[in-house]
Structure 1
Amino acid sequence: MFFIACKDQPKKDSKIKEDTKEMAVNIPCSAPSDWFGGSIPVPAPEKFPQIDVTNCDFHQISWQYFLWLTEEVNGTPRFESLYTDKAILPEFKDDQYHILDLIEQALSKGILIDKNNRAVYGNIMINEIYRDYILDNKLYDPETMNGFDPTADFPVGALSAKATWKIVQPDEDASNLYTKKADIELLTLVDGFPRVPKNNPKIQKNVEVALVGFHIAVVVEGHSEFIWASFEFKDNAPNFAANQDPNGIVSDKDWLFYDANTIARQTNNDNVGIAKFIDENAQTVSPVTQVARQYINGGGDETNQKNITNLNENVASQISAQSVWRNYFEVGAVWFNTSKGTLAPNWNPNVVDSMVTGSIKLSNATIETFTQKVRSQNQCFSCHNSNAMTNVPTGMKLLGGKNINLSHILLNNYNDGKEIPLPN
């Protein structure tokens, strides 16, 4: 088992059990040493603890997945061999062509624009378990999905991931980041604003990009709602102070997506309806986005805060000093406290949020830049829930509340790529 730092073993004597649990609270959340110096153990989501599970267990498996997905296999990180989100369609079931095709952020539809006036790109990936579940149940077909069992869950081990990438300029030092050459879909004017067109976008090949953000969503035993974990490059953006003055500066130093001495109210401002081309040929866009992370470790209680901080420090201390992955950290993770409830159709956190736990205000500075300041949108389940979808294309049946509606890959396919409505 890889869950060791915060795990309490059952005791026959209840008093001993109570004492050992109290002691475990004071043990710093850390990563097992056998994760380092060789191949990282394959995560075992089917063995996730069901008894005496601790907050640390969730952050440990989140970090283990990140390290396992970024481990080099045949010269590239393992996540590069995941399938694309197109692989839920039978005709693309083997697709691993990771073209960067996303620039609009979920819900806000804003574009993160870096200091070089370039849009930050994204792409979505899924593993074989996720893909096969969709294909085997023909959930790529809207009619089949509409009639699917509302209470059916994704299987244990199903995983999706989302990465965000900054375009590296010729004179830019990106030595602390994971970089690669990627194909990107180019922006053009769509309804008067810079966007990637839905049909027949132009493609630029072999663009150097750097990984700045990474989401992991994975189903583990006992948690059909997925654990939603988020990671970032350590120098992306500063954190707000605990009682940040909106008119006060967030940091007096420069960050990748933040200029020194920018005041808080000038950060994370959505640019929908404002973004415009400076030069379409050069693919430059304005205005530059000033980014700050509004909730340290994604919020949550003191235990959650300490566990993330301790685990991040412990992992960094054990990763090779030569590894770029030493420069990434877990922002946080969110899941359900199953003693208070489990996933059911027509659930969303704006109605019942008591069972959401962990980093309850989790946002990635590069993936949810703009929604982190909107209370009803500033955590993963605000967007990923089992609510019904009523805003569908003309002639298509309304989609009732289903557990599988957590997946926007499925919802986007059902909704023909149109915007997914917010929960009420």
Structure 2
Amino acid sequence: MAHSPSLFFYLRISVLVIVGVLLPRAGYAECVADPQWLPKTPTPTFDRPPPHPEPDCVFYKPAWQNFLFAAQPTNGSPTFLSYPTIGDVFGPAVAPTLSPIAAKRLNLLALAPRALKGSNDPTTDTPRLPGPNSATSINAGVRQAGFAGLLIDQSGQPIFYAIHMNQTFADFVRSKQLTTKAAVENADPNLELPKGAVELKSAWRVVPKGNVPENYITVEASVPTLKRKGELLEVDESAPLRSETVALLALHVVFIPEGHPEFVWATFEHVDANGTRDLAPAAASQPSPDNGLPGGVDGPVKAQDFVLYKGGTLASAANQFLTDAIMASSFDERHRTFLSGGKPLQTSIYRMFPGSKSVGAGMDEDEDIVDLNKSMTSLFAQNAPNDPRRNYRLVGAIWMDKPERFAPGMKIENPAGMTTDDPAAIVAGEDGLSSMAMESFTQNSFVNCFSCHDTRVVKDLNGNVVLKAKKLNVSHIFSKFVIDSK
């Protein structure tokens, strides 16, 4: 009697299934950190990363190294705080330091309140999704005087931010003589920033001087004073900057490897002791195309408090900035905090796109990011257990998979419905990427860095041309300089 093949068939299938579960998928190489990055991080090389079908790890690893290098402690402070600011590079042509642009004063880090920033051409913007953040509310916030998009933490303190650039970026500006408004306006449309240029945007919260948290990068900084003016809240330009202890919440690390003049846009955020991001919760599901809410259903995002989220806040009530009138009426000028009924008033933020991808599965973070962050956790534990950089993790990054198409006048985006892994995609990485501390209110309409940073003509809210279409427009440093020039 012949043996039935069915038993052997099912045994074989069972073994294959078990092996498939236990072993990495075919052709997958785990994304791991370079042991040489810690304790002292070497200077990044900005080598050309290969495009798809190579895994995204080749972009996430240089993002991590650039973060480690820029945030590396130097004389007790992160190295990037010694980098040039817009005021340093462009000099006397820049408006006073109490403008929204960060600059140095009194040898301290000068910070300005974080306000909404729209795209290069806000007159053409349309909402990515309907719902809590409609195009009207976003554009109204950009248009209003004062700081309509002010972000406020759980203690009622406004979040502050700063902009720095590395020496390569600064040297480029000076070598091309782009230090006057006219020079930037008349720059060659095809002029590109060079390999190795780095731009850094940082978000900070004020912390008590007598109770400085140990699990943050903290520094002494000079911050502007806000004041009420009727129903507006504005910077008091007559008041001197005040010294505060501030803690780093998040850092944009924007860099140009060889062959990518559009920048690789990466963002890092603070994490708790377990390595979990703790600025804001993530939605339990992708936002619905119908109303922008998680899975189309309203309700509390999380029960517990986060740095930028009040536990129990409904999704429909979160990711909303306060109106000028509410900010002005609730601002306590004596204590420099926002109060409501004697208690701290805050803006509640949550991550709309849980995996920082707006199309496709979207719920899960990229495996390379997960692997690399875990690898960094181990590397910190082994080589730098007390390094303050251990308290931050990569959220995601975005870049052009076809940088040869980078040209003046383009809106950098994929066709509707196309994933970033599609062979035809122009944009790769996390196309739903937002920093909870820096793009808190724009997650619906400006879903990633390229939603605002492109090479289109730069216009003001009245439709007046600020800069003609050019490749340099991908960095808002130039448009900020032109707008704020005397």
2:231 maps to 1:192: yes
The 1:397–1:114 alpha-carbon spacing in structure 2 relative to 1, beyond 3 Å, is closer
Shift of 1:259: 2.5
- TM-score w.r.t. the length of structure 2 is 0.73
Shift of 1:349: 3.5
Q: Tell me the distance in 1 between the aligned counterparts of 2:209 and 2:149.
A: 26
2:135 maps to 1:133: no
Tell me which structure has the larger Cα radius of gyration. 2
Shift of 1:413: 1.4
2:383 maps to 1:315: no
The 1:201–1:62 alpha-carbon spacing in structure 2 relative to 1, beyond 3 Å, is farther
Determine the structure 2 residue equivalent to 1:247: 298
1:371-390 to structure 2, matched below 5 A, reads 371-372=442-443, 374-375=444-445, 377-390=446-459
Determine the structure 2 residue equivalent to 1:102: 113
Unaligned runs of 5+ in 1: 1-21, 419-424
Q: Tell me the distance in 1 between the aligned counterparts of 2:356 and 2:485.
A: 29
Shift of 1:333: 0.5
1:204 counterpart (234, 238, 242): 242
Supply the AA of the counterpart residue of 1:219: I
Equivalent residues of 1:140, 1:414 under 8 A apart: no
Shift of 1:140: 2.7
Determine the structure 1 residue equivalent to 2:318: 267
2:280 maps to 1:237: yes
Identity, in percent, stands at 27
The 1:392–1:257 alpha-carbon spacing in structure 2 relative to 1, beyond 3 Å, is closer
Q: Tell me the distance in 1 between the aligned counterparts of 2:468 and 2:93.
A: 27
Q: Deviations over 1:253-283 (max 9, x none)?
A: 2222222222222221122434224311211
2:188 maps to 1:149: yes
Find the residue that maps to 1:333 and give its secondary structure: strand
Equivalent residues of 2:413, 2:450 under 8 A apart: no
The 1:229–1:398 alpha-carbon spacing in structure 2 relative to 1, beyond 3 Å, is closer
2:413 maps to 1:361: no
Q: Deviations over 1:167-213 (max 9, x none)?
A: 1135756221111211111112357322325x5453112x1111001
Q: Deviations over 1:147-169 (max 9, x none)?
A: 21101110001111011111113
With 84-93 and 145-154 compared, the bigger mean Cα shift is at 84-93
Equivalent residues of 1:125, 1:162 under 8 A apart: yes
Q: Tell me the distance in 2 between the aligned counterparts of 1:241 and 1:342.
A: 36
- TM-score w.r.t. the length of structure 1 is 0.83
Say how many residue pairs are matched.
389
Q: Tell me the distance in 1 between the aligned counterparts of 2:476 and 2:323.
A: 21
Q: Tell me the distance in 2 between the aligned counterparts of 1:342 and 1:97.
A: 41
Name the structure, 1 or 2, with higher relative contact order (CA <8 Å, separation 6+). Answer: 2
Equivalent residues of 2:86, 2:481 under 8 A apart: no
Shift of 1:342: 2.4
Q: Tell me the distance in 1 between the aligned counterparts of 2:415 and 2:183.
A: 29
Q: Tell me the distance in 2 between the aligned counterparts of 1:254 and 1:30.
A: 32
Determine the structure 1 residue equivalent to 2:40: 39
Q: Deviations over 1:259-315 (max 9, x none)?
A: 222222222112243422431121112541111122234226679611111111111
Determine the structure 1 residue equivalent to 2:348: 290
Equivalent residues of 1:121, 1:164 under 8 A apart: yes
Equivalent residues of 1:177, 1:210 under 8 A apart: yes
Equivalent residues of 1:388, 1:402 under 8 A apart: yes
Unaligned runs of 5+ in 2: 1-24, 95-102, 119-141, 143-147, 272-277, 287-293, 340-344, 417-424
Find the residue that maps to 1:45 and give its secondary structure: coil
Q: Tell me the distance in 1 between the aligned counterparts of 2:77 and 2:212.
A: 21
Q: Tell me the distance in 2 between the aligned counterparts of 1:200 and 1:350.
A: 43
